[in-house]
Amino acid sequence: MLIYPLSGGVPAGRGGFRSLTLPANSPHCPAQARQQGELLQGKLRNLFSSHPLAFMLDETYQRHQAWMAQAIALAAEAGAVGEVPVGAIVVDEQDQLIARAANFRERGHDPTAHAEIMALRLAGQSRRNWNLTGCTLYVTLEPCPMCAGAIALSRVSLLVYGADDLKAGAVRSVLNIPDGPASNHRLAVLNGILETQCREQLQTWFAKRRRSQ
């Protein structure tokens, strides 16, 4: 795996992502995902070499921001009705929306109804195929162990998430399930997109809930 940490003046909480993990020459990684990773790797290297903040003007980065903004809006809707505010979106190879969901655990009385799980289910139904190779999953919070496992099983090619979960994050913060020995799928991961908005949305929601208890 290749990890690109951002340096050169990108402060935390300014909307820039902090690292990119790409599948590199893995026999378990689909050829299409591997090719996408190599192209993105070269593009980012050129951007970073020209200017440390150049990536923020890049069309691909702006596209990631736009989808994450939609996930944040879904999270806000869920938070307003008592759910932990997490939203998720799946787009296909043509960057077309195929699934959108938010946490539904409280309303559905379902311990597995996290935003990522709901979005993956809807995406599979939309494509009439559980295999989501070529798709990108956007989610406002780093996936938990359950969701990280489901993402690996779905064969999603790229995971883009906003805020790290330092207590239960299972992609990079606490565990790395998609890259672990039990996973036969190697996942490209981009984190920190609209991180400040995602983190503050959760912090504000939990602070309000504590005050009301």
* Pairing relationship of beta strands 188-191 and 158-163 according to DSSP bridges: parallel
Q: Alpha-carbon distance 196 to 199, whole Å? A: 5
Q: How many CB atoms lie within 10 A of CB 94?
A: 7
Q: Alpha-carbon distance 21 to 23, whole Å? A: 7
Structure-block tokens of residue 105? 């655990």
Active-site residue numbers?
116
Q: DSSP characters for 162-208?
A: EE--TTT-TTTTS--STTSTT-----EEEE-TTHHHHHHHHHHHHHH
